[in-house]
Structure 1
Amino acid sequence: MPRSLFLLFLLSLCYCKCKGQIQVKLLSRTPTKPGDPVELECAIKDNSFSDSGVSWVHQGKDSGLRFIMFISSISRVTHASDVDKPRYGGSKGPGTYKLMVKSFQEKDQGEYYCIVIRNQMLHFSSGHQVFLPVPPTQPPTTKAASTTPITTTPVTTIGPETQSPANAHKTWLNCDLYIWAPLVGACLFLLVALVVTIITCQKTRRRRCKCRRPANANNGKVVSNR
């Protein structure tokens, strides 16, 4: 943050001249995932800037300018104090200054500039944006339908007119069994009750018949017909 404020202070004091003579381009392929290496090149077309050195600046999506490093004309690299030095490297070539991000992360996304300071003037390059691809939105997961076919057995009502003869015969046998079994039991019960009643009546009648005979007029004497 102090570096950003310092750079903004310099911008307010110095005249910034953007001539299009300083351009930034991406040498490596666009990063596809976190951890991919990224290499940027700052090409200076004006030979008068060749001995001035280059400062690399990064501007994030939601942040201000962040100073990364300064590469002198004799290939000396000076990192910013708040930069992870093992992840950033710099080098100088003929008319070019390179910035290497060895392991590109989400916080490294944004726009990169190189700045040349000459005659108390800031010369900005054209910016170059480097972003990770946006992951595709995944639809809500649904449980996969089972591939096993489900067979259903239709339920049919079989009436008397649609039953087979064998089934109809079994049905009538069951009906006869349910009807005649109670009737036979009731008849047997009545028959037993009738037999018991007859036997009981006969015993009662015999007991009533055991009585004295009435006496005749001759006091029991036999009258002779002589």
Structure 2
Amino acid sequence: MTDASPALLLLLSLGLCCPGAQGQRITVTAKFYNSKSTHPQSGKSLELECTNSQDSGVSWIRQDKAGTLHFIVYISALSKPTFEGNQMTSSRYGVSKSGRSYRLTVTSFKAQDEGIYFCTVNYNQVLYFSSGLPAFFPVTTTAAPVTSVSPTTQGSRVTKRDVCLQSHEAETSKEKEMNFFCEVFVWVPLTGACLLVLLVLVITIMLCRKTRRRRCRCKRPANGKPKMNPKVPSQQI
């Protein structure tokens, strides 16, 4: 399938180049025909439905993951399909019309059919696009491997209570270690400060005692006269 078919170029040229007439507008809606299906399944058929407010022909276009547009089919108001290359039939797609409902069926959905599907209507020289209808395989998530736990004997069975007790004991031992270090950091400086204050106090007491002894030696007798040495004779005037 080529990326740009003549029919697709014709539709785009009509929608983008022609000015169009100012007047009535129409609505175009694309959806899954089966409302319960939100994702296609590999190898199974997927049916899409396009409705418009005017009973005019519609075209189905697919935009792939790279953003390239692919023309699929044009369905006229008389239920006449025209596939790529002006073919009347297709081995990959099926079409049908009921009233204003134009259906497109992907007979066997594959990875190359993934993309965003649009239906377009060319009415009064104006090209109308429906909202994009994403059709992708569901994303599968890989579950993490489950590791098997070997059965334990009755003697070595570990219960939830044992685990809680062990964790509690571990937390208690850690708390004791932290409390011990806290006590060391608090009491060692405090003990040193107390010893320093005690040393200063002892030195102060000793200095006070020495000062008092010196003062006592320098005190005079009670009569206020200094004591004379009897061995030294008094000088005559």
- TM-score range with shorter-chain normalisation? 0.5 to 0.7
One of 32, 42, 59 as aligned partner of 1:55: 59
The one-letter code of the counterpart of 1:113 is F
The one-letter code of the counterpart of 2:120 is I
One of 55, 67, 71 as aligned partner of 2:75: 71
**Partners of 1:138 and 1:16 in 2: CA distance:** 54
Match of 1:87 in 2: 92
SS of the counterpart of 2:85? coil
Match of 1:106 in 2: 111
One of 116, 120, 136 as aligned partner of 2:121: 116
**Partners of 2:40 and 2:59 in 1: CA distance:** 26
Match of 2:28 in 1: 22
SS of the counterpart of 1:75? coil
Match of 2:180 in 1: none
One of 141, 163, 176 as aligned partner of 1:136: 141
Match of 2:4 in 1: 2
Computed over aligned residues only, the root mean square deviation of the Cα atoms, in angstroms, reads 3.3
Match of 2:158 in 1: none
CA deviation after TM superposition for structure 1 residue 142, in Å:
7.4
Conservation of the 8 A alpha-carbon contact between 2:20 and 2:125: no
Conservation of the 8 A alpha-carbon contact between 2:40 and 2:46: no
Conservation of the 8 A alpha-carbon contact between 1:31 and 1:37: no
Conservation of the 8 A alpha-carbon contact between 1:14 and 1:122: no
**Partners of 1:8 and 1:42 in 2: CA distance:** 19
One of 34, 46, 58 as aligned partner of 2:42: 34
**Partners of 2:60 and 2:40 in 1: CA distance:** 23
Higher-Rg structure is 1
For residues 8-40 of structure 1, the C-alpha deviation after alignment (integer angstroms, 9 at most, x for no partner) is 444431358994611111112233531122111
Match of 2:233 in 1: none
CA deviation after TM superposition for structure 1 residue 133, in Å:
0.4
For residues 101-137 of structure 1, the C-alpha deviation after alignment (integer angstroms, 9 at most, x for no partner) is 1111222222211111123221222222222100113
Q: What percentage of aligned pairs have identical amino acids?
A: 37
Conservation of the 8 A alpha-carbon contact between 1:20 and 1:126: no
Match of 1:203 in 2: none
Match of 1:12 in 2: 16
CA deviation after TM superposition for structure 1 residue 43, in Å:
1.0
CA deviation after TM superposition for structure 1 residue 143, in Å:
6.9
Which blocks of at least 5 consecutive residues in structure 2 are unaligned? 156-237
Of 68-77 and 30-39, deviating more is 30-39
Conservation of the 8 A alpha-carbon contact between 2:30 and 2:51: yes
Match of 2:186 in 1: none
